[in-house]
Structure 1
């Protein structure tokens, strides 16, 4: 392709620039590359003069003011959770959170148990399902002692739980979560028969010795006590990850649990009930 003609003789730099751009012109955007060549050779296009001659400069895009961020919604836990026990925990028009008093059009985020966030307390689908199990099975008049491992929600939720139960919340890695005490599920350090309920949401897969943890939980629970255990069931048989795996808080995963977890729980001394959530819970 011959070089574009100009009034000035072509310099060596012009020839090198033409050789560099020539083979790309057809492959990308010919018009754009021609404009780039003209810019390299002659500088920016001239501004239009009073009679409209000359190339028109592109109009500057209008500045768009960013929309203000909505004010955060403060969680409110004023009413009794037992009064909210029958509140639907699924998404849809007229969504209602069964953890706090929030009501609205719908929860935030994707339709998944890890999504569907409450705009007020921040609970996701699996948080609300776990909370529903706790409330529906525990009479407030009994003053149950409840231990929650690695609680996901914030200080307002924990304060409310202290008002509803004899509540303990723990975390092994205090830098990752919001536990008030530090407990290792493999060595709880609690006295025998001292806890009515243990809530363990997506923790057991991060514990190296599953059998030791289950034995400690059985020891700490009072007769008739309940363990609410949430784990991802990903396969038929429990096995370690084939490659190093970490969850969102950078906690290592030691086990990918399978359906054989239920027999292991029975062998540890539990009577097992398996609950499967609906998609939007």
Structure 2
């Protein structure tokens, strides 16, 4: 596996190839990330991963400085998974000057759910993803980028970014990997103590129960069912931001006419000091 840090070195390393398959990460890799790399490998003629903790998507009170950095373990995992090129830019490599040009996704998609509770988050995500795409795919006729479905809203925003900018990149979604008890794998699971880790599975259980309740009753009962789910989780000591049912097409609340439409249940809640997210298509 070749490790490069500058954009110039990345482009030199990728010059012989026509169809990169790319996985963007912030490091602290788990089996979910590695599954994306393995899934990407047969889709291109070179497999590229990036590790970059993107300051632009962290609010001042969030965990940018304490976000886990596990460089040596990450490199070992990527090499074992068959990654060909690792792009690990320093902040001055990717942002050599203040990033005043930014990508602002539409408010109706970016300011709901995660965007409501983390203002500016998707501007930071969209901006760094666009920049990484330009680093990896510039001059290439086509390419593939893998994104995990656990970050459901993020994946939708990136798909629309690629569509609206007419980028020659296919976005492929990787299914959420879960621990044996059902907890979605996440880098932030490492923040949980032993007691919190045992409790953490209740978020996915709450989403399953909410999804089953919505599917078995009138769609008009949705708001009350969501409120009940929030209260039940709060009673266990969680601080839920949202547990909600949305249309898969646009993440807006379903209406009565959407009873047969594809839906997704999404949730975000804080357990102790750790904020977890998950979703379930129903």
TM-score norm. by structure 1 comes to 0.27
Greater C-alpha Rg: 1
Q: Greater share of strand residues, 1 or 2?
A: 2
TM-score with structure 2 setting the length: 0.27
Identify which of structures 1 and 2 has the higher relative contact order when contacts are C-alpha pairs closer than 8 Å and 6+ apart.
Answer: 2
